[in-house]
Copies of this chain bind each other. A is one copy, B any other.
Amino acid sequence: MKITVLSGGVGGARFTRGLLSLVGERAEVTVIANTGDDMWLHGVRVCPDLDTLMYTLGGAVHEEQGWGRLDESRRTSDDLAAYGLGWEWFTLGDLDLATHLARTALLRDGLPLSQVTARLAERWAPGVTLLPMTDDEVETHVITADGRDLHFEEWWVRHRAGLPAARFEQTNLATATPAPGVLAAIADADVVVVPPSNPVVSVGTILAIPGVRDALRTTAAPVVGISPVIGGAPVRGMADACLTAIGVETSAVAVARHYGRRPDGVLDAWLVDDRDADAADALRSEGWLAGSANTLMTDVATTARIAADALALVGRLP
């Protein structure tokens, strides 16, 4: 059985860890990761979502933080700040930095990001095939209400998504193509899962890569999503600020309708939290496959049950 996941960082990584715990050897899991948050920082290539996936699935993540490595120091980052250069608010942990340096060396050698990612993942054995959404340098920028243009990470990390956003724009989107394996992973899947990642700047960015949305609309596999909104608030992060910017209400039902139901949209089924059981009712009345369950990913076992509920909704429990 083949399962393909479209993932952002922390939420998608934790969901996938639960999914792996559920399916064990009974499924091959491919993760298509958002790379819109990537950036060149101090001359090295930083890929926040790929690294969060790699570390989380490889057992090396800083669990409380959700990203970065266990037992990192800020020595290099602090010393870099002493030069008064660059993004002093963005900490490069000293172990994380080794990943960035390894990646940068391989990219400078001419390898595409997909091959670089495979090479780095060898060390962490994440138990999935980890694919960047594209090998092209697509980066999400935030155009603020007062007209500023910021890299997404600057808006997200430095300003804590506190500057009202007018819209999100991705660089190089017109000429970007899906990374090798991305379209096939969607077309050949037995089920596609959209975890509770940010629907705008994580999953939304993956969907924006030319060809990906069509692949989802046309795959023979069912596509099931888990709501990243519980009781009118994002489970984690500041997804509400992103939803507001694109005119979508922060509610389980509004996010489902934003993704849309196939064939016009990209989903067949939507799992909401028990607190939003009325949203599932509303969606069912519109023809969706919809269900409710406890969807708070408090630990790996709970998350495995959430994955089981999602797969069961489309009849694909392995």
Contact = CB atoms under 8 A, between A and B. Distances in A.
Interface stretch (A19-27, A96-104, A196-204, A215-223): A96-104
Given A43-B43, A44-B44, A94-B94, A105 B85 contact: yes
Interface residues of A, number: 34
A120 interface: yes
A121 to B, nearest CB: 11
A99 B97 CA distance: 14
A40 B158 CA distance: 30
Contact of A106 (B85, B99, B119): B85
Interface stretch (A76-84, A225-233, A280-288): A76-84
Most B Cβ at <10 Å: residue of A43, A44, A94, A105: A43
Contacts of A80: 98, 101-102
Contacts of A95: 75-76, 79
A290 to B, nearest CB: 44
B75 A105 contact: no
Contacts of A107: 43
Contact of A82 (B41, B79, B98): B98
Interface string A117-145: 00110010000000000000000000000
